[in-house]
Amino acid sequence: MKPTREVDCLGMRCPLPIIVIAKEILNSNNGELLRLLSDDPATWPDLQAWSRMTGNTVSRQSETNFIVVRQNQSGQDSR
């Protein structure tokens, strides 16, 4: 399944990529895939922590390319 949207956070530093993807995921449907582009070295560990807190799924495709899948159906804030 291909991501439906690309969220470009290249050049942004922590915590901005997580804040941006958290807002974007709120505007997505359950099961929707988003591609996050970020070159901040803190993005991957931050995404993993955010995923544990929110229940969303994340995977790392490369150093700057991440897939985020909305898993929570409750409509709660994903931050």
- Split into its structural domains, the chain has a count of 1
| pTM recorded for the entire structure | 0.88
Q: Is 77 among the domain residues?
A: no
Nearest to 8 by CA among 27, 24, 30, 32: 24
What is the DSSP-derived secondary structure letter of residue 4? S
**CATH number of the domain to which 61 belongs:** 3.30.110.40
Alpha-helical (H) ranges within the chain are 16-26, 43-54
Is 9 part of the annotated catalytic residue set? no
Of the residues 3, 9, 10, 14, only one is catalytic, namely 14
pLDDT, one tens digit for every residue, the chain (79 residues): 788 899 999 999 999 999 999 999 999 999 999 999 999 999 999 999 999 999 999 999 999 999 999 996 554 444 4
* pLDDT at residue 3 in the model: 84
* pLDDT at residue 2 in the model: 84
